[in-house]
Amino acid sequence: MEDKRTLFWGWYVVLGSFLILSINYGARYCFGVFVKPLADEYGWSRSVISLAASINMFVYSVCAIVVGRIMDRLAPRRIVTIGALTLSTSFLLASLVKTPLQFYVVYGLLAGIGASGLGVVVTNSSVGKWFIRKRGLALGISTMGISFGTILLTPTAGFIVKNYAWQTGFVFLGVVVFIIGVTLANLLMRKTKPEDHGLLPDGETRAEQVLEIDSLPPPPHLSYRVMFGDSRFWTLGIGFGLAVMTLMSVFVHQVAYALDQGIDKIAAASSLGAVGIAGFAGQFFFGWFSDRLRDAKYSAVLGMLVMVAGMVMLLNVTSARGLYIYALIYGFGYGCLAPMMPVLTADRFGRHVMGSVYGMLTFFIGLGGSIGPIVGGIIYDRFGNYSSVWQANIVVLIIVSLMLLMLKPRDAYAKG
């Protein structure tokens, strides 16, 4: 049993997850920094370059299924180490590419595989196994790393590319991922779950306290037949997949929309940073708030409705000031997505099989994210304006909110 005078190991897992998500998402979200330099040097079109990012996201989503299954059997240390080595290698090789095909293999395929080992399925599943009462708070803090890494690494990579070369930028990312990823894996992610080390979830000192809320632990293995036959799986998968679809349409088209409204280029571009900063606060809030509700789904619904409010605001943006107000509102609401998916997954299916279920759900989320920008572009081409895109997003987010409100509670095989 752990000495109460020492910090519960679960919080070290939270710290490790926060930093791992920071380097993973921070490095991958730097992609936009390299688009223009690659186009200028090789004459590649934006669509040719952007295809690498789409391949990356699709491969990441597919690999999440495999990683999720492995997570229920192995310590996260091994998965994170392999992921860090693979992702860092892909960035180093990206500095040497000469053809689009090489770029697709290195950044699309290899980086997608590596990123899955450092992604939310690994980190959030790890955190979810260490907490029950404080699960929302722990996952909220952990997923704040996504925004933190974006805020920190994107401008740093931009500075390096601007003042040195795009090749140096890729080398920088490769070195950062290698050093931090491998170090964190072996320092903070070497333990699988508290019971394996004589501990109890949340740092509780008595098993009775855990049994109050974890009285019917689920089976150690959940078959795909049972998973796919559960309406809650499809509610979460389709609901969050649609929400991320709207999110990615905003991320890709928001700046162009702002420019169409006559807003300054710098203000238009920096509004994405404002979304990230607000998301940082939202990730903590919605995770923390979910611990204080009878059912965590209401925290997710609140976040979706805040995103709706942001979309309504964006429809009426005519100035930089209005754009920043929208970004803060929408970004805060978008912060619910990262923590609430693992919270609801663990709550509905149990923490012991969280990796398997969360990995499969991540595939649907990635699928939604990959088609969001394309759907936004098709709607724009059809109607000639982005207002139609934002209106469609509002409708979709309201539908998702209603779906989550009808999400069934946990049953006898999932009480953890």
What are 332-383's pLDDT values in tens digits? 999 999 899 989 988 888 777 777 888 888 888 888 887 887 788 888 888 8
DSSP state of 197: G
Question: What residue type is 269 in one-letter code?
Answer: A
Give the residue carrying structure tokens 């601007």. Answer: 162
Q: How far apart are CA 237 and CA 283, in angstroms?
A: 19
Local structure of 198: helix, strand or coil:
coil
What domains does the chain contain, in order, with CATH numbers? 9-208 (1.20.1250.20), 216-405 (1.20.1250.20)
Counted residue by residue, the chain has a size of 416
Report the first-to-last Cα separation within the chain, whole angstroms.
20
Q: How far apart are CA 11 and CA 301, in angstroms?
A: 27
Q: Which distant-in-sequence residues (6+ apart) come within 8 Å of 303 by Cβ?
A: 282, 286, 333, 334, 335, 336, 337, 340
| Integer angstrom CA distances of residue 282 from 18, 24, 268, 279, 328 | 15, 20, 22, 5, 10
pLDDT at residue 81 in the model: 94
pLDDT tens-digit profile of 67-108? 888 887 778 889 999 999 999 999 999 999 999 999 999 999
pLDDT at residue 5 in the model: 59
Confidence of residue 216 (pLDDT cuts 50, 70, 90): very low
pLDDT at residue 44 in the model: 84
CA atoms within 13 A on the CB side of 313: 21
Lowest mean pLDDT, pick from 121-125, 289-293, 337-341, 354-358 = 354-358
pLDDT at residue 222 in the model: 65
- The overall average pLDDT reported for the chain is 86
pLDDT at residue 220 in the model: 52
Lowest mean pLDDT, pick from 128-142, 264-278, 302-316 = 264-278
Instruction: Reply yes or no on whether the pLDDT at 415 is more than 60.
Output: no
8 Å CB contact between 396 and 245: yes
Give the Cα-Cα-Cα angle 400, 30, 56 (nearest 5 degrees): 65
Between 197 and 342, the higher pLDDT residue? 342
Output the pTM of the full model.
0.79
pLDDT tens-digit profile of 236-259? 999 999 999 999 888 878 877 888
Instruction: Reply yes or no on whether the pLDDT at 109 is more than 90.
Output: yes
pLDDT at residue 73 in the model: 75
